[in-house]
Amino acid sequence: MILDVIYAIILLLVKVGLKLKYSVTIKGAENIPKNGPIILLSNHTTIVDSFLLGCNVPRKIYYMGKSTEFESPAKRIFFYLSRSFPVRRYDIDPGALRNAYRIIEYGGMVGIYPEGERTWDGKLQSLRRGTIRFVLSTGVPVITAGIKNAYQHQPRWGGRIGKPPIVLSFGKPIEVKKIKGKDQKKSDIDDLNDKIVKAILELSE
């Protein structure tokens, strides 16, 4: 209960800050189920993506965040209070997977950036096969999100290109057939990967 209150306060403060700094348009929010387990997959363009999505999705998002961001005690406390949990990049992380499965089991929404890192040039990068395999193993519907124009505000390499209005678009649920890891075929992974890439590109371009 206390954590929920703290989360609500953090969300309110972040919302105010984002509203002062950015002009954000939301499209397709009605595509997000109001309850039940869901996985949110989005392109990753800036360090504020999680805040942009978290403040504009009508549900709590439990985000996987790179473990290095949790090394600072202050950041660790903030991210935990913001409903994020650490994951080691470029490696299999059993602890992060357990957290994600637990959230899904309790009907929550898990947010993942399937590229594994922020883009350097604003374009969608290849998706991590580990993410696709995880999604297949859950059989949980996927909501894709496209973040458009945020990159120009805060590109990874620094500076600013411009200040166009940011557009957050959400696609219709992609149904996923549950396939356990040992039973997953290359064709299963490739097919789901292609669906997700196509959806994110359509939403973010």
Q: What is the pLDDT, as a whole number, of residue 83?
A: 76
Tokens standing for 6?
């703290």
What pTM did the predictor assign? 0.90
Q: What is the pLDDT, as a whole number, of residue 71?
A: 78
Helix H segments across the chain?
2-21, 49-54, 73-81, 94-105, 129-138, 150-153, 186-204
Q: What is the pLDDT, as a whole number, of residue 65?
A: 79
Q: What is the pLDDT, as a whole number, of residue 87?
A: 84
Q: What is the pLDDT, as a whole number, of residue 86?
A: 75
Tokens 């997953």, residue? 184
Q: DSSP 3-state assignment of 44?
A: coil
Tokens standing for 187?
């064709």
Q: Can you tell me the distance from the alpha carbon of 125 to that of 205, in angstroms, rounded to the nearest whole number? A: 13
- pLDDT tens-place values along the chain, 205 residues long: 777 787 788 888 888 988 889 999 999 999 999 999 999 999 999 989 999 999 999 899 999 878 777 777 777 777 777 778 778 877 778 888 999 999 999 999 999 999 999 999 999 999 999 999 999 999 999 999 999 999 999 888 877 777 899 999 999 999 999 999 899 999 999 999 999 999 999 999 8
Q: What is the pLDDT, as a whole number, of residue 69?
A: 73
**Which domains occur in the chain, in start order?**
29-204 (3.40.1130.10)
CB 27 within 8 A of CB 130: no
